[in-house]
A = this chain, B = another copy of it.
Amino acid sequence: MRILIVEDDASVSHWISSKLHVSGHSCKLVDNGEDALKFIKNEVFDVILLDRIIPKIDGIQLLGLLAGDPHPPVLILSANDQTSDRIEGLRAGADDYLGKPFDFAELLLRLERLYCRSKQVASSNFIKIKDMIINLERHEVTRSGHRIDLTNKEFKLLYVLAEHPGQTVTRSMLLEKAWGYHFDPQTNVLDVHLSKLRNKLDGGSKNPIIRTIRSVGYALG
């Protein structure tokens, strides 16, 4: 994730950014509302971590300025953890709120949630289903933490399924999306690749992640 941290207390912002780095995310630090606004307008971030009280433009004001046009989800970080403050923050358009002092694990979790959510809406950088994470950018799939190597076709197949988690995706849909066939090829390509995919994903475990809906298609989850 690319994260913009808007926070005037340097010790806090550095602590957060170093921790986020370790978790594999990249951060940009900014200590006032004015600069924050500039960066938001000019660069692409996945999430914004916003302290409520910052110089020049206050956090809430900043949200007001952002409102209307599309922007990354905002998590407000604040020393005031009164409900009234939380309400104010959320009303102003924040997507989440975390009071200080906070736990880094919780911060990370919330950031990731925001990220997933926004991605799912404005389609795609990683999709999460049960304990499986599909990273579209990196073409990488992990299940309960450890990597699973997929071939290109397998990945495409999984991706098409993952676009509609839980829903039944018809065979023709799969053929169309993963192969570009607009007709029924008289072969069993689909079956073969799906079989392989299945093996890799839940290699023999009960509780398979891909269900078969006979004579219709397949479904994830």
Contact = CB atoms under 8 A, between A and B. Distances in A.
Interface of A: 67-70, 83-84, 86-87, 90-91, 102-103, 105-106, 109-110, 113, 117, 120-121, 130, 137-139, 151-152, 164, 166-168, 213-216, 219, 221
Contacts of A109: 87, 90-91
Given A87-B109, A138-B166, A139-B213, 16 more contacts: A67-B130, A68-B166, A68-B221, A83-B105, A83-B106, A84-B103, A87-B103, A87-B106, A91-B109, A117-B117, A121-B121, A137-B164, A137-B168, A139-B219, A151-B215, A152-B214
A82 to B, nearest CB: 9
Contacts of A216: 139, 152
Copies of this chain in its oligomeric complex: 2
Contacts of A70: 166
Nearest to A168: B139
Nearest to A139: B168
A168 B152 CA distance: 13
B90 A113 contact: yes
